[in-house]
Chains A and B, each alone.
Chain A
Amino acid sequence: MQKDNTVIFKGGKNGIVIIMDEAAMYEKIAESLRAKIRSAHKFFAGATTTISFKGKELTESELLALVEIINAETDLSISFIEDLTGTFEVAAAKAPRKSGKAAVDPYFHKGGLRSGQAINHNGSVVVLGDVNAGAEVVATGSVVVFGAIRGMVHAGAGGDRTTFVCATSMQPIQLRIADIITYFPREVIMENKNKIDPVYAFVKGEEIYVAPVAN
């Protein structure tokens, strides 16, 4: 049988790199990926690693579908960061299931997120830097930002209302915790703009409240 090179796995310095044939159709890539993962099951087994996709530019929905394949065929639970060069980095962590709640490693991101950059993680996220307008952090756990939140942050994306969002300067365009969405009035954002004032947002009843961390 001819060797299938549509999808190749490689161990890179930042985890596993999945190199896709640029000329291949998306359907062929998905099919090849599924077949390869099945045969190389051990390659993925149980490791905590980062996965990145290279070689072909994918739309977000195509990427999500590929991640879904990896999810279905392995016991890894996956989250990803969009890299800007058209590569998508996937931080994968094995999820020990405890009392029905996903207790995975938090994801630490050193540096800020600029417009168009996103972190999507199954677990909590810590960002050392600003989350700028146009950037997104979506986490099933809590989100802590050592810096300003100006973009969109969603904590408890799986529905966990006990999660919270913390930042040293809170000026988000929109904030979501579990199924609750709130936006900040312009005046509040303007007021928080030049202020370093660590606060956290949490759910009480059916609403999102913001309180100083110090209390």
Chain B
Amino acid sequence: MGEVIVITSGKGGVGKTTTSANLGCGLAAAGKNVVLIDADIGLRNLDVVMGLENRIVYDLVDVVEGKCRLKQALIKDKRYPNLYLLAAAQTKDKSAVSPEQMVKLCDTLREEHDYILIDCPAGIEQGFKNAIAGADRAVVVATPEVSSVRDADRIVGLLEAAEIKNIRLILNRLRPDMIKRGEMMTIDDVVDILAIEVLGLVPDDESVVMSTNRGEPAVADENSRAGQAFRNITQRIMGHDVPIIDLDEVGGFRAWLKKTFRKGN
């Protein structure tokens, strides 16, 4: 039986879709059979980040309306044969799907796939309710900004009310240099407020923007610091014990220099 994990945040633009794409690819690279569901009906993005937008024939709404079979709507990824995308409809809105339909869909997918990752839309309305309806676990993505943490707190409250027990935090776009200068919320600051376990820390990394635009998630890029973070998070999702990376270790060029020279000695 597969597991259904919703990736959510409340606030928009903190990296839900990027996280979904990276974790999907990461789990697939580790040999798992994975389905990514874009639950952001009307504002679909996941297909673009995955570089699969030109392959969409049927979407989520077609499936729940019975216009096609589920298998027909699962788009096979171009890199990993065991990774599928169920795209959102672009010409409909959130009310085209009900929470009951999502539960049914998740239960069907659960039978044949190891992980079903749901990319949740921003907000706390219908789209959010749909996205969390069938989930066993939740990953809350936040950036170390007060507004993002505030929204994440609201989301955790809603997830708890929906009786989703396993809620973990990914802290995205961390800037170790800014934290050191006291200009950014620290990891402890955020954890103090949200009081949930950290699943992973992802450093701010320009290569993510480039890879996202290219439709090639950073997790496959051996040289990307964010990619490394996502690979670690993937391992943790699968239940492996990987220590949380010390951000100074991935502190950029200077840290790299230091490390290289230390090796040289």
Interface SS of B by simple majority: helix
Interface members, chain B 139-175 (any A CB < 8 Å): 150-151, 153-154, 156-158, 160-162
Beyond A133-B150, A134-B150, is A117–B162 a contact (Cβ under 8 Å)?
Answer: no
Q: C-beta contact mask, A51-81 vs B, less than 8 Å → 1, else 0?
A: 0000000000000000000000000000000
Q: Which residue of A lies closest to B154 (CB)?
A: A115
B161 and A115 form a contact (CB under 8 A): no
A115 and B162 form a contact (CB under 8 A): no
Q: C-beta contact mask, A147-188 vs B, less than 8 Å → 1, else 0?
A: 010100000000000000000000000000000000000000
- Distance in angstroms between the alpha carbons of A129 and B193 in the assembled complex: 11
B195 and A115 form a contact (CB under 8 A): no
B161 and A84 form a contact (CB under 8 A): yes
Q: Which residue of A lies closest to B153 (CB)?
A: A115
B179 → A minimal CB distance (Å): 15
- Distance in angstroms between the alpha carbons of A117 and B150 in the assembled complex: 12
Q: Which residue of A lies closest to B162 (CB)?
A: A85
A122 cross-chain contacts in B, Cβ below 8 A: none
B157 and A114 form a contact (CB under 8 A): yes
A140 lies within 8 A of chain B by Cβ = no
Q: C-beta contact mask, A126-158 vs B, less than 8 Å → 1, else 0?
A: 000010111000000000000010100000000
B154 and A114 form a contact (CB under 8 A): yes
- Distance in angstroms between the alpha carbons of A150 and B149 in the assembled complex: 13
A13 → B minimal CB distance (Å): 15
B153 and A132 form a contact (CB under 8 A): yes
B195 cross-chain contacts in A, Cβ below 8 A: 112, 130
Q: Which residue of B lies closest to A169 (CB)?
A: B192
A83 lies within 8 A of chain B by Cβ = yes
- Distance in angstroms between the alpha carbons of A114 and B195 in the assembled complex: 10
Interface members, chain B 67-109 (any A CB < 8 Å): none
- Distance in angstroms between the alpha carbons of A117 and B156 in the assembled complex: 11
Q: Which residue of B lies closest to A112 (CB)?
A: B195
- Distance in angstroms between the alpha carbons of A115 and B193 in the assembled complex: 10
**Range of interface residues on chain A?**
10 to 19
Q: C-beta contact mask, A98-132 vs B, less than 8 Å → 1, else 0?
A: 00000000000000101111000000000000101
B107 → A minimal CB distance (Å): 21
Q: C-beta contact mask, B187-216 vs A, less than 8 Å → 1, else 0?
A: 001001101000000000000000000000
- Distance in angstroms between the alpha carbons of A130 and B156 in the assembled complex: 14
A132 and B158 form a contact (CB under 8 A): no
Contact of A133 among B153, B162, B189 (CB under 8 A): B153
Contact of A134 among B154, B160, B161, B192 (CB under 8 A): B154
Give the most central of B151, B157, B160: most A CB within 10 Å. B157
- Distance in angstroms between the alpha carbons of A188 and B151 in the assembled complex: 23
A106 → B minimal CB distance (Å): 23
Contact of A116 among B157, B189, B192, B193 (CB under 8 A): B157
- Distance in angstroms between the alpha carbons of A112 and B150 in the assembled complex: 14
- Distance in angstroms between the alpha carbons of A130 and B194 in the assembled complex: 10
- Distance in angstroms between the alpha carbons of A114 and B154 in the assembled complex: 6
B198 → A minimal CB distance (Å): 17
A150 cross-chain contacts in B, Cβ below 8 A: 193
A134 → B minimal CB distance (Å): 6
Contact of A132 among B124, B160, B193 (CB under 8 A): B193
Contact of A84 among B150, B151, B158, B189 (CB under 8 A): B158
Q: C-beta contact mask, A29-71 vs B, less than 8 Å → 1, else 0?
A: 0000000000000000000000000000000000000000000
B160 cross-chain contacts in A, Cβ below 8 A: 84, 114
B59 → A minimal CB distance (Å): 28
Can you spell out 25 A-B residue pairs with CB atoms less than 8 angstroms apart?
Answer: A83-B161, A84-B157, A84-B162, A112-B195, A114-B156, A114-B160, A115-B151, A115-B153, A115-B157, A116-B124, A116-B154, A116-B157, A116-B158, A117-B157, A130-B193, A130-B195, A132-B193, A133-B150, A133-B153, A134-B150, A134-B153, A148-B192, A150-B193, A193-B189, A194-B192
Closest 7 CB pairs of A and B: A114-B157, A84-B161, A115-B154, A115-B153, A116-B154, A114-B153, A84-B158
Interface residue ranges, A against B (CB under 8 Å): 83-85, 112, 114-117, 130, 132-134, 148, 150, 193-194
Give 18 new A-B contacts, CB below 8 A, not counting A84-B158, A85-B161: A83-B161, A84-B157, A84-B160, A84-B161, A84-B162, A114-B154, A114-B157, A114-B160, A115-B151, A116-B157, A117-B157, A130-B195, A133-B153, A133-B193, A134-B154, A148-B192, A193-B189, A194-B192
